[in-house]
Structure 1
Amino acid sequence: MTTTTVATNDHATIRLAMAQMCSSNTHVRNIEIVTSLAAEAHAAGADLLALPEASGMVNKDVASARLSVTDETRDPFLAACRELAAKYGLWIHTGSTPLAGADGGRFSNASHLIDGSGVFVARYDKIHLFDVDLPGEISRRESDRYAPGGEAVLADTPWGPFGMSVCYDVRFPHLYRDYAHAGARILFIPSAFAMSTGEAHWATLLRARAIENGCYVVAAAQCGHHDDGRETWGQSMIVDPWGTVVEDMGKRIGLAVADLDLSLVLKTRRSIPSLVNERDYSFEPDATNRRRQTA
């Protein structure tokens, strides 16, 4: 796990603005949207703006996307986010945006945390890719277009450590457990959830990750019908460490602003100290199967 470090005052509260978007298949339109969102977040006194997965571009046409997708140093969406952060003194979690891969082949689904001076604090590349076969739907193979990341990233901030992830990662609880053991106070889970899995699993998974780790979960999401033909579930949510839903945006496009009391993380972990109560154990599947067969 990579941990990035910045000067920290260990602030007890953070005013967080969470965006729900219906991103376009061009950088230009999405930059316009985020420019408006950042101004609104600043006017509301927010410390940090959280964006959804693929906030920079939603485009399933690989050939078309390849004409626009570039590396981190030249990406126009990231450049715009850095400028907005510096302009407003606003931290921005970019959710994610596609970037050119190191080998020039598949893209990276890259998530960045930018500080209030416009400097990259952390980058996380989505580890778990959405390769699934949903009943009655076409097979989805995110790995055809994206290369998986290989490193968890914990960002140290003035509000304590933040754990970074993207969308399908939410189904792999060990990632968030590692973040919690490393002291994470907020878990970012920006997403572009499918409609069927969103209805069935989204809210339950978010609440579970918050409850089992005693962390805030901030899950900004894509919502609606996109230019490339896909439809996303929405329901951007903030969940507190006790599992209480602080914000649920439903299908509303725009911004939700919430004050998060970060002392609740420690209080919850003291009340239910599951991180401390964890025990090592042995597990021998072959032996278990043998016992079942002879029972």
Structure 2
Amino acid sequence: MKSYLAAAIQMTSVPDLEKNLAQAEELIDLAARQGAELVGLPENFSFMGEEKEKLVQAEAIAQKTEAFLKTMAQRYQLTILGGGFPVPVAGTDKVYNTALLLDPNGQELQRYHKVHLFDVNVPDGNTYRESSTVMAGQELPSIYHSQTLGNIGLSVCYDVRFPELYRHLADKGVDVIFVPAAFTAFTGKDHWQVLLQARAIENTCYVIAPAQTGLNYARRQTHGHAMIIDPWGAILADAGEKPGVAIAEIKPSRIEQVRRQMPSLQHRVFA
């Protein structure tokens, strides 16, 4: 593993596939021009709209999104994460919320179907039932072992509230965890940053958290603050509340330093 720049992209995605892909391309280009080698796009980056509308367009969204990610990886010679988009589940009327990691040749490295679905009555009056259109993944995410970028683990949004998933990744030797999200504005203001810091601190690894921000559609407002956090819990980059890019250096020496100073993973009693 070497030191390199990573980017967490922040978008305001809407119910318009082509518009979203154009916005994503601009921000990927920005990240690449700043030297990023590992780039993450947020959950719902290619489409964010009503659930019924998403289902109707799911096949087209899936096909165009995968083709787009492959093109971006190849054009900019990046390892890129599409942080969450709908992929139809054969024989059902549902989709998987899918995160896809591709190498600079456009080859698939990891595919993860979001396990924890957001079925919540938020105190701001909004109700979310992700399970109405999404089928939960049945497998914990695996690790992609890269000699240059380190051991990379995937998760999506609501997963961040379930530390056992991240401890599983830590047991597999993870160095960098992606948490692409579309966190609600109401919950994000209190929980987003502290949960990301907790996942980084307890597993002594970097966390890269691409995010949605602003008003996406109807009453759906997202928190923003795409972040990159180091293994000590320090916030290295924060994209704020507007579309943009959070960029920071990922250093293997920092991971080693923190794990020497705080060897908590070696002190576990209940494994």
- Scaled by the length of structure 2, what TM-score is found? 0.94
Question: Displacement of 1:51 after TM fit?
Answer: 0.7
Q: Which residue in 2 is equivalent to 1:198?
A: 188
Structure with larger Rg? 1
Q: Which residue in 1 is equivalent to 2:104?
A: 116
2:152 maps to 1:146: no
Q: Hey, what's the Cα distance between the residues in 2 that align with 1:59 and 1:70? A: 15
Q: 2:101, 2:109 within 8 Å by CA — same for their partners in 1? A: yes
Q: Which residue in 1 is equivalent to 2:171?
A: 181
Q: Hey, what's the Cα distance between the residues in 1 that align with 2:46 and 2:254? A: 33
Q: 2:179, 2:210 within 8 Å by CA — same for their partners in 1? A: yes
Distance 1:133 1:261, change over 3 A: same
Q: Superposition pairs for residues 163-182 of structure 1, below 5 Å?
A: 163-182=153-172
Q: Which residue in 2 is equivalent to 1:70?
A: 59
Question: Displacement of 1:241 after TM fit?
Answer: 0.3
The amino acid across from 2:57 in the alignment is S
Report how many aligned residue pairs link the two structures: 269
Question: Displacement of 1:237 after TM fit?
Answer: 1.0
More displaced stretch, 263-272 vs 88-97: 263-272
Q: 1:61, 1:228 within 8 Å by CA — same for their partners in 2? A: no
Q: Which residue in 2 is equivalent to 1:85?
A: 73
Q: Superposition pairs for residues 117-266 of structure 1, below 5 Å?
A: 117-151=105-139, 152-157=141-146, 158-266=148-256
Q: Which residue in 2 is equivalent to 1:97?
A: 85
SS of the residue aligned with 1:193? coil
Question: Displacement of 1:26 after TM fit?
Answer: 2.1
Q: 1:222, 1:233 within 8 Å by CA — same for their partners in 2? A: yes
The amino acid across from 2:230 in the alignment is D
Q: Which residue in 2 is equivalent to 1:293?
A: none
Unmatched runs of 5 consecutive residues or more in structure 2: none
Q: Hey, what's the Cα distance between the residues in 2 that align with 1:241 and 1:68? A: 39
Question: Displacement of 1:140 after TM fit?
Answer: 1.8
Q: Deviations over 1:241-269 (max 9, x none)?
A: 00101011120211222222122112211
Q: 2:228, 2:246 within 8 Å by CA — same for their partners in 1? A: no
Q: Hey, what's the Cα distance between the residues in 2 that align with 1:191 and 1:207? A: 15
Q: Hey, what's the Cα distance between the residues in 1 that align with 2:184 and 2:194? A: 15
Q: Hey, what's the Cα distance between the residues in 2 that align with 1:188 and 1:71? A: 25
The amino acid across from 1:187 in the alignment is I
Q: 1:14, 1:262 within 8 Å by CA — same for their partners in 2? A: no
Q: 1:25, 1:228 within 8 Å by CA — same for their partners in 2? A: no
Let me know the Cα RMSD of the aligned residues: 1.6
Q: Hey, what's the Cα distance between the residues in 2 that align with 1:136 and 1:254? A: 27
Q: 2:41, 2:210 within 8 Å by CA — same for their partners in 1? A: yes
Q: 1:71, 1:99 within 8 Å by CA — same for their partners in 2? A: no
Q: 1:71, 1:101 within 8 Å by CA — same for their partners in 2? A: no
- Scaled by the length of structure 1, what TM-score is found? 0.87
The amino acid across from 1:19 in the alignment is I
Q: 1:56, 1:98 within 8 Å by CA — same for their partners in 2? A: no
Q: 2:59, 2:88 within 8 Å by CA — same for their partners in 1? A: yes
Question: Displacement of 1:138 after TM fit?
Answer: 3.5
Q: Hey, what's the Cα distance between the residues in 1 that align with 2:251 and 2:126? A: 42
Question: Displacement of 1:203 after TM fit?
Answer: 0.6
From the two aligned structures, give the one with the greater strand fraction: 2
Q: Which residue in 2 is equivalent to 1:4?
A: none
